[in-house]
Structures are given as C-alpha cells and as structure tokens.
Amino acid sequence: MNLTDRQRKLMFAGLVVVLAVVGVYLTVAAPDDQGDGGAGSTPPTVTAGPTGPASPPPGISGTVTAGDFDLYRLLPFSRQEFATAADLAQRFTAAYGTYRFDEDPKVYGDRLAGMVTEQLRGELERGAAAPGLLEERRRQQTVATGTATLDRVRDIEDNSVIFLVTGKQQITKGGKQAQDSRQYAVTVARDGGSLRVYAFAPAEAGQAGDTG
C-alpha cells in the first residue's frame, strides 16, 4: 500500500502516542522494585504487638493431687521469674524509702535505674527533685533508711504481677528519730528480656497490672 507523505506523518504520530500511553501504564502499574527494602525505599512502619508470656504455661493433663500439684504449670511466670520479680519488688521498695537531705536527686534516680522502667525512673526523679520537698529535707537534715516486707500477690497477668509490699523507714529528722510504715502496690512487668518495676502506688489507690 502506497502512502502519501501526509498519511505517513499521521501514522508516525499515532505510533508515538500509543507508545507513550503504554509507557505511562507500565510505569504506574508495574510493582516498585524498591518495595522490598532496597536503597531509597521507605521502611515499613512496624507496630509492636503486646509482649506475651516468655512461654505458654505447660498446663496439666493428668490427675491433680495435692501431693504433686505444681501451680506454676498454670501460670504465665516460672518459679524463677516469680522469685526474681518478688525480690525486685522488695529491693525497689526499700531503695525508694532510702534517701538523704544532702543527696543529689539524680544520684537517687541512678540508684533506682536498674530496677525500674525509664518512664517510672523519670517520674521518681522529678518527684525527688521537687523544690519544696528538697527544701524541707535540707532544713530538717532528713535521713531515711528503708526496708521492705513482701505481703502478698494482688494480681497476675500475662505480662506482669502486682505485689503488695510494706515499706518501713527509720527516719532522722530535726535531730529526732522516727519510724514510718506504708503498704504499696508494686507492679513488676516484663521489659524486653528482663523484669522491671513498671508502676508503683499506695496500695489503697488500686492499680491496673497488665502492660500488654
């Protein structure tokens, strides 16, 4: 078929348009080569799920008898974890009640650092650094030494356990000796691969225990 110059020009222009449309379609519709984490891609947003028990409780399939009943087979914490958590709650409460009028609040916070979450540490440091409290302790040269006794378990969740702990203090204030005692609810929770005090409040205030 013989084409005139005009017809050949029109056909060429039509081919250009078709090729341009196909190119745009392939660019938009084709999967992104960088979508699997390659250089220049935007990392996916990862939302951390709740931290569950270190391992599911093994359960009990046989007959239950008083002589060999193992309560820990039904609980989300092993015997070792419970012992670690209880020790932590007791040590923390004793450390919380131990301070001196001439001690920097940051030193007090550093002493608690290995036992509490970062958020709780910040709250405790801010409380210890309150100007009115510091002024009162310095004026009366207050020195307190804390001890603690574990009373009972208030609640157990997949990620945390709440202990009721009585904190006792020997206090020297204004040259006089005194004693103080108060019960606290101490929540110990899994924090990564370790246990930390997650929350702390007077026992009568109540406290939610599960962190996830």
Tell whether the model's pLDDT for residue 49 goes beyond 50: no
Tell me how far apart the alpha carbons of residues 44 and 164 are, in angstroms, rounded to a whole number. Answer: 42
| Residue 22: inside a domain | no
| Residue 54: inside a domain | no
The number of beta carbons lying within 10 Å of the beta carbon of residue 210 is: 16
Q: pTM, whole model, 2 decimals?
A: 0.69
Query: Sorting pLDDT into bands at 50, 70 and 90, what band is 69?
Result: confident
| Residue 50: inside a domain | no
| Residue 110: inside a domain | yes
**pLDDT, position 73:** 82
Number of domains in the chain: 1
End-to-end CA distance of the chain: 77
**% of the chain surpassing 70 pLDDT:** 70
**pLDDT, position 56:** 66
Tell me how far apart the alpha carbons of residues 170 and 156 are, in angstroms, rounded to a whole number. Answer: 31
Tell whether the model's pLDDT for residue 8 goes beyond 50: no
Which of 98-106's residues contact partners 24+ apart within 8 Å by CB, and which partners?
98/144, 98/145, 98/146, 99/128, 99/137, 99/142, 99/143, 99/144, 100/142, 100/143, 100/144, 101/137, 101/138, 101/140, 101/141, 101/142, 101/143, 102/138, 102/141, 105/129, 105/134
Chain segment 104-131, per-residue pLDDT in tens: 999 999 999 999 999 999 999 999 999 9
CATH, residue 104: 3.10.450.230
Q: Average pLDDT, whole number, for the chain?
A: 78
Chain segment 129-177, per-residue pLDDT in tens: 999 999 999 999 999 999 999 999 999 999 999 999 999 999 999 999 9
List, in sequence order, every beta strand (DSSP E) within the chain: 99-100, 143-156, 160-173, 176-191, 194-202
Q: Pick the residue with more confidence: 31 or 139?
A: 139
**pLDDT, position 48:** 32
49: buried, middle or exposed (CB in 10 Å: 19+, 13-18, 0-12)?
Answer: exposed
**% of the chain surpassing 90 pLDDT:** 58
Could you list the residue range(s) of the whole structural domain that residue 108 is in? 73-205
